[in-house]
């Protein structure tokens, strides 16, 4: 239970999350992101933008100091689609490693998809369905069957990439999206199952739905919509001339709003092709998937709620044997009762 940090250099944001420890249900003690837009022009220019690179390097320098203050000895740094695809990606990595003092792993599309799937495994027991992780540069899709990885693919359908390739024309994006999805015939296996939605853009859509429906909680993990409800939410963006007039959108970060129409269109076209029963939103993604990959098999199969309760009891100097009647299982049982506060 010593702190572990993960820096995720994505196509849209650079984020540092420090967890209390590498355990089955890790507790974040620090979480900060900087929207740098590294992938904004990669599709058309082939390179990371100069200003975006400088913003990212400034963020990495700051994150190094924060990690030192928080006594993080184990710092893992990963980079995804934008850096992977850019001509000057290697140069950026070298500068980033000098700024951080640690190595940066550039994930392949295959590994990025696998970590996204493991993030779903971290948050859900016996996950069964298709998971999609939408970033700024790419979309990872993974077929999960009771925690077994089946099919997986990476598509160039990230929000920033679509803005770049279509000249910010939403009507042109549909053809691009449909063409890419048509290359994956196994998406039909999602019919009647669950679609797990991962990524900041899709979580912003869920936040809009929470606001519109006056949902009384602010718990994103496990928030679910029927397929029809999710389609209605996505179609709002094509029914209005000014997306900023949509209810709930002003609660979304300004830098995220520009990609929302494209993220909504990707989700809409996915749902129409897959026809899943429901959409479940996950706050766990490749960062949590990385933590999950570090755990031994006997830890991976544990119930995350019971594991959290036991860790919480130990770390807060409470007796695991006497908490809430019946140990951690008793605490977990109490937490799951209707009307209980978790």
CATH of the domain at 180: 3.30.420.150
Q: What pLDDT score was predicted for residue 319? A: 62
Indicate whether 296 belongs to any domain: no
Q: Closest Cα to residue 21, out of 328, 333, 299, 321?
A: 299
- What are the φ/ψ torsions at residue 104 (nearest 5 degrees)? -115, 130
Q: What pLDDT score was predicted for residue 133? A: 95
| 100 shares its domain with 230 | no
Q: What pLDDT score was predicted for residue 240? A: 83
CA 318 to CA 321: how far, in whole Å?
A: 9
CB 138 within 8 A of CB 11: yes
217: three-class secondary structure by DSSP: coil
In terms of residues, how long is the chain? Answer: 342
Q: What count of Cα atoms within 13 Å lies in the side-chain half-sphere of residue 36?
A: 28
Indicate whether 128 belongs to any domain: yes
Q: Closest Cα to residue 34, out of 65, 20, 4, 55?
A: 55
| 91 shares its domain with 159 | no
Task: Provide the 8-state DSSP code for 278.
Answer: E
Q: What pLDDT score was predicted for residue 320? A: 58
Chain center to CA of 193: 20
- Helices 227-239, 200-213: inter-axial angle, 10-degree rounding: 90
CB 122 within 8 A of CB 289: yes
**How many folded domains does the chain comprise?**
3
Indicate whether 259 belongs to any domain: yes
Q: The domain that contains 52 carries what CATH number? A: 3.30.420.40
Residue 130, token pair as written in the block:
């298709």
Question: 319: Cβ–Cβ under 8 A, 6 or more apart, which residues?
Answer: 313
Residue 292, token pair as written in the block:
């999950």
As averages over each run of 10 residues, the pLDDT of the chain (342 residues) reads 92 94 90 92 92 96 96 95 94 96 93 91 91 93 86 92 93 95 95 95 94 92 96 91 85 86 96 97 94 91 85 71 48 42 38
Chain center to CA of 186: 22
Indicate whether 291 belongs to any domain: no
| 59 shares its domain with 118 | no
| 25 shares its domain with 165 | no
Across the chain, which distance is largest between two alpha carbons, in Å?
62
Range of 140's domain?
110-286
**pTM of the predicted model over 0.75:** yes
Q: What pLDDT score was predicted for residue 332? A: 45
Indicate whether 254 belongs to any domain: yes
Q: What pLDDT score was predicted for residue 318? A: 59
Q: What Rg value do the Cα atoms of the chain yield, rounded?
A: 20
Residue 170 vs residues 83, 86, 266, 275: alpha-carbon distances, Å = 25, 24, 11, 23
Chain center to CA of 286: 6
Q: What pLDDT score was predicted for residue 322? A: 53
| 176 shares its domain with 229 | yes
| 51 shares its domain with 8 | yes
Q: What pLDDT score was predicted for residue 328? A: 45
| 78 shares its domain with 59 | yes
CB 142 within 8 A of CB 151: yes
| 139 shares its domain with 262 | yes
Residue 116, token pair as written in the block:
């996204």
Indicate whether 297 belongs to any domain: no
**β-strand partners of 226:** 278
Q: What pLDDT score was predicted for residue 141? A: 95
């Amino acid at each position: 239970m010593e702190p572990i940090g993960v820096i995720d250099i994505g196509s849209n944001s650079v984020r540092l999350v420090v967890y209390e420890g590498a355990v089955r249900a890790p507790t974040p003690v620090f979480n900060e992101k900087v929207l740098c837009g590294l992938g904004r022009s990669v599709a058309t220019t082939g390179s990371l933008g100069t200003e975006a690179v400088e913003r990212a390097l400034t963020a990495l320098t700051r994150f190094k100091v924060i990690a030192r203050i928080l006594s993080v000895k184990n710092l893992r740094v990963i980079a995804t689609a934008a850096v992977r695809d850019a001509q000057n990606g290697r140069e950026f990595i070298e500068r980033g490693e000098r700024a951080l003092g640690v190595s940066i792993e550039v994930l392949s599309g295959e590994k990025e998809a696998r970590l996204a799937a493991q993030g779903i495994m971290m948050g859900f027991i016996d996950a069964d369905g298709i998971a999609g992780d939408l970033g700024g540069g790419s979309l990872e899709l993974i077929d999960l069957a009771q925690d077994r990885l089946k099919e997986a693919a990476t598509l160039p359908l990230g929000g920033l990439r679509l803005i770049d390739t279509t000249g910010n024309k939403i009507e042109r994006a549909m053809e691009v999206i449909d063409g890419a999805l048509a290359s994956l015939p196994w998406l039909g296996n999602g019919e009647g199952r669950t679609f797990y939605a991962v990524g900041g853009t899709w979580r912003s859509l869920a936040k809009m739905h929470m606001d519109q429906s006056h949902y009384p909680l602010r718990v994103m993990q496990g928030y679910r919509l029927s397929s029809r409800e999710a389609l209605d939410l996505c179609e709002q963006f094509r029914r209005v001339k000014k997306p900023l007039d949509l209810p709930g959108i002003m609660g979304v970060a300004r830098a995220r709003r520009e990609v929302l129409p494209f993220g909504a269109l990707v989700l809409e076209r996915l749902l129409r092709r897959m026809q899943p029963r429901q959409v479940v939103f996950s706050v766990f993604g490749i960062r949590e998937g990385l933590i999950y990959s570090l755990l031994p098999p006997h830890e991976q199969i544990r119930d995350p709620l019971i594991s959290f309760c036991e860790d919480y009891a130990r770390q807060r100097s409470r007796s695991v044997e006497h908490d809430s009647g019946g140990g951690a299982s008793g605490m977990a049982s109490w937490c799951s009762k209707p009307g209980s506060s978790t």
